[in-house]
Amino acid sequence: MKIIPHFSLKSLNTFGIDTHAEAFVSVESIDELKTALSQKDYTQKFLLGGGSNMLLTQPIPGLCIHINIKGIQLIEETDGEVIVEAMAGENWHDFVQWTLDNNFGGLENLSLIPGNVGTAVIQNIGAYGVELKDVFHTCETVEIQGGNERLFQREDVHFGYRDSVFKREEKGRFVITKLRVRLTKTNHKLSIDYGDIKPALGEKKITPKTIAEAVIGIRKSKLPDPKVLGNSGSFFKNPVVSSLHAETLSMQYPNLPSYRFGVCLTKIPAGWLIEKCGLKGHREGDAGVHKKQALVLVNYGNATGEEILSLAQKVKKNVLEKFKIPLEFEVNIY
Ligand code: EPU
């Protein structure tokens, strides 16, 4: 474990923002993580996972700790189910592939989501009708102040839409080190009702693997590959508005896509709202709104974090003025 001063973070954030950390260390075990957290020379500690859900608008002061703890193992097995454990530094998609290679069901709809296992918990990643919370068993953490270990049960995590206790009450207090998920060996609970999935499956037999292939195909056709075009996936959350507001809007826009969200609430795709503001494909310098999916902002090369943020604020302002709907950022801004 080596602490490196003035370290470039360009290759460690999927937006490809060229900024640096005052100091950087990559930790490969829980013991190394505890040692890094106890470094007294740096009062500020910044935890970095896959760098896929953040926008860096300034250099990071203090010590940036890159969670690079690897390992996947089967913990428990019954006739129909398994509990699998993945360490926080595993790449999320590699983990999903591992489960599919072992014929376990549950994570197929979450294929190809960028980022790492640890951060997947923080924002309760979701796609095509499935969220991480649906398979979550437990997660283990280390407290940033003091280095104590704490296990979180499902009910402790208070999962919501792209939300958990780690984004709210416990924000900045814990580092997630391990995730355990409960997956199926037989009688898989397959989710194929989300719009694009059935057509992508065609005549194929419906299995976790074929669903994963369909999801991968859809994502590749709409969402930019961060290795090719810097981005952090959805920049905005899909807003939840009163159903009355949604009904009023749908009188004006009969094609408004919307989904019931609990009692009296409706979720509207931010991508649709942004597109209707005429901003899909809009570009300001190297910062842009993606051409195929308007809720994704992209870095065409050398955009700074501030430039992307300023575009994001412009998008928010336009949507608020046109639809009276305040958009919320899904990515974390630093
Ligand atoms: N739409 C538009 N224009 C656009 C984008 C979308 O009109 O530019 C419309 C589509 O036609 C469709 C609706 O909006 O009617 C929904 O679009 P899509 O299926 O692409 O999903 P989304 O609601 O825009 C959410 C997640 C994605 C996830 C997909 C699939 C959020 C913030 N985003 O997007 O998650 O992959 O559903 O489940 O909830 C991510 O979090 O990084 C991410 C990509």
166-198 pLDDT, tens digit each: 999 999 999 999 999 999 999 999 999 987 899
User: For residue 196, which atom of ligand 1 is closest to its CA?
Assistant: 19
CA angle 163, 35, 43 (to 5 degrees): 70
User: For residue 219, which atom of ligand 1 is closest to its CA?
Assistant: 36
pLDDT at 263 over 90: no
Note the pTM of the prediction, 2 decimals: 0.94
Cα dihedral 319, 325, 331, 333 sign: positive
Strand segments, DSSP code E, in 4-125 are: 4-8, 20-27, 45-48, 54-55, 60-67, 72-77, 81-87
The helix or strand, by DSSP H or E, that contains position 139, with its residue range, turns out to be: strand 136-143
258 tagged catalytic: no
- Which of 131, 293, 325, when mutated, tests ligand 1's pocket best, judged by the most ligand atoms within 8 Å of its CB? 293
What is the Cα 62 distance to its own chain's centre? 25
Residues framing ligand 1 (Cβ under 6 A): 127-128, 194-195, 222-223, 233-234, 237-238, 257, 269, 271-272, 275, 280, 293-295, 330
Distance 17 CA to ligand 1 centre (A): 24
DSSP category for residue 238: P
DSSP category for residue 132: G
Max Cα distance, the chain (Å): 60
User: For residue 161, which atom of ligand 1 is closest to its CA?
Assistant: 39
The single residue listed with the structure tokens 């428990």 is 76
Nearest residue to 54 via CA among 272, 297, 238? 297
Distance 283 CA to ligand 1 centre (A): 20
With a CB cutoff of 8 Å and minimum separation 6, the contacts of 110 are: 92, 96, 125, 126, 127, 130, 132, 215
Least confident of 62-76, 125-139, 149-163, 194-208: 194-208
Q: What is the pLDDT of residues 127-150, one digit of tens each?
A: 999 999 999 999 999 999 999 999
Q: In what order do the strands lie in the sheet with 136-143?
A: 72-77, 81-87, 174-184, 136-143, 149-153
With a CB cutoff of 8 Å and minimum separation 6, the contacts of 78 are: none
Q: What is the pLDDT of residues 208-232, one digit of tens each?
A: 999 999 999 999 999 999 999 999 9
Work out the percent of the chain whose per-residue pLDDT is above 90.
Answer: 97
Q: Is 155 helix (H, G, I), strand (E, B) or coil?
A: helix
User: For residue 234, which atom of ligand 1 is closest to its CA?
Assistant: 42
307 tagged catalytic: no
Q: How far apart are CA 206 and CA 204, in angstroms?
A: 6
The pLDDT assigned to 196 comes to 87
Distance 127 CA to ligand 1 centre (A): 9
- How confident is the prediction for the chain on average, in pLDDT? 96
Q: Which of 162, 180, 182, 219 is the catalytic position?
A: 162
301 beta partners: none
Task: List, in sequence order, the alpha helices (H) in the chain.
Answer: 30-37, 92-101, 117-122, 154-157, 197-201, 208-222, 243-252, 270-276, 305-323
Helices (H) and strands (E) in the chain, counts: 9, 20
The pLDDT assigned to 259 comes to 92
Nearest residue to 52 via CA among 139, 123, 141? 123
